[in-house]
Amino acid sequence: MSDIKVKVPYLDLKAQYQSIKPEIDAAIARVLESCQFVLGPEVAGFEQDFAAYCGAAECIALNSGTSALHLALLAAGVGPGDEVITVPFTFVASVAAVTYTGARPVLVDIDPRSFTMDPAAVEAAITPRTKAILPVHLYGQSADMDPIMEIARRHGLVVIEDAAQAHGAKYKTRPVGSIGDMACFSFYPGKNLGAYGEGGAVTTSNPEYARTIRMLRDWGQDRKYHHLLRGFNYRMEGFQGAILRVKLRHLERWTEARRKVVNLYNDLLADSGVESPTEMPWGRHVYHVYTLRTDERDGLQAFLLAEGIQTGIHYPVPAHLQPAYADLGYGHGAFPHAEAAAEQVLSLPLYPELSSQAVAEVARAVKKAVANRTQTAVSR
Ligand SMILES: *Cc1c(COP(=O)(O)O)cnc(C)c1O
């Protein structure tokens, strides 16, 4: 494979850095000069800015999105013997974080159009042990939050949004991060708002949850060396706070650039024989990934790679079919929509700096692959 020249990479983090280099370099220099390497004023500033951006009262900056999920669950009081309802079609962290607390992940299938939690499946999964619901805003599109919030309120459950892929997405008029009781974000470098290392955050407007998470991220201290809770070292680094503060100022522009790329893909791939992603009427999709569906996914991916076009599969194996989670007791066929999606999805190159020419080249290659396939099928 290494002899194939990459013509269109799946991601290009360098292009973005080059476009904001002076601002980033100045931010890094500020941290070096201040020597505030862990938390500190840059992180506190980012917390304020990001809370405001999400329409939440508070943001607690952490060292990863996984830590955000872990601490949000703990703040909600989730522990051994409890159950948390989430989806199998997600990055594994959504499910793993539940197990960190000792609770059991209870999975429900997705809606096949939005790839997010099917609210109609939630109610039947509730038991007396259910403590929380963890919908995932997959690919940058909000889950259908109104019915999920309604079910949660009726049953006294906490709602934790997994917004790791959805910075800036909206449900109706509200930004994700302000809808559930808490929301968890990741700033892993490839995410829509990416640090230059690991990072994550919880947003919430509940002061009690915020206070607990602030303590838990820093060894459960309410003041130095007084440990009220059994905590962790989940603090954000000063460099990441300074970098994220700079990058947050560009996020809306980058999101609009992503959406332009997506519109172009949609236009060029209309009637191509592959299924473009569906933007649900309820919100603003921020397209962390552009995922199409085709039942010839593996062939299409191989063809594109031979043409120098990198793609991704998000995700090839749903959580309930992962060996690590076999003990959850779900088998093949448990979640048909998640399983079908895992076999059919393919993510095309997408980042704000991707040129129209590159998008056209990708679309041309996709159409060529489909045409070849149809020809082969006819001649057989
Ligand atoms: C990236 C991601 C996470 C985990 O975030 P990290 O910062 O990598 O720990 C959790 N959930 C989803 C849906 C993600 O995409």
| Cβ of residue 176 lying under 6 Å from some atom of ligand 1 | no
Q: Residue 375: what pLDDT?
A: 75
Contacts of residue 181, defined as CB under 8 A and 6 or more positions apart, other chains included, come to 76, 158, 159, 160, 204, 206, 209
The pTM for the full model equals: 0.97
> What confidence category does residue 271 fall into, taking pLDDT thresholds of 50, 70 and 90?
confident
What was the pLDDT predicted at 260? 98
The CB of 65 under 6 Å from ligand 1? The reply is yes
Q: Which two structure tokens, joined as six digits, stand for 324? A: 């690590």
> Would you state the pLDDT for residue 379?
62
What is the reported pLDDT for 28?
A: 98
Q: Is the pLDDT of residue 281 over 80?
A: yes
Taking alpha carbons only, the member of 257, 255, 235 closest to residue 176 is: 255
- Residue from 64, 188, 232, 244 whose mutation best tests the ligand 1 pocket (most atoms within 8 A of CB): 188
CA 222–ligand 1 middle distance (angstroms): 28
Would you give the distance in Å from CA 18 to the centre of its chain?
24
Chain segment 7-61, per-residue pLDDT in tens: 999 999 999 999 999 999 999 999 999 999 999 999 999 999 999 999 999 999 9
Give which of 194, 238, 184 is closest to 72, Cα–Cα.
184
Ligand 1 centroid to residue 176 C-alpha, Å = 15
Q: Which atom of ligand 1 is nearest to the CA of 67?
A: 9
Which whole number is the average pLDDT over 318-347?
Answer: 97
Which helix (H) or strand (E) segment is 368 a member of?
A: helix 356-379
Q: How far apart are CA 89 and CA 283, in angstroms?
A: 20
pLDDT the model gives residue 2: 59
| Distance in angstroms (rounded) separating the CA atoms of residues 99 and 74 | 11
Q: Ligand 1, atom 5: nearest CA belongs to which residue? A: 65
- What is the per-residue pLDDT for 380? 56
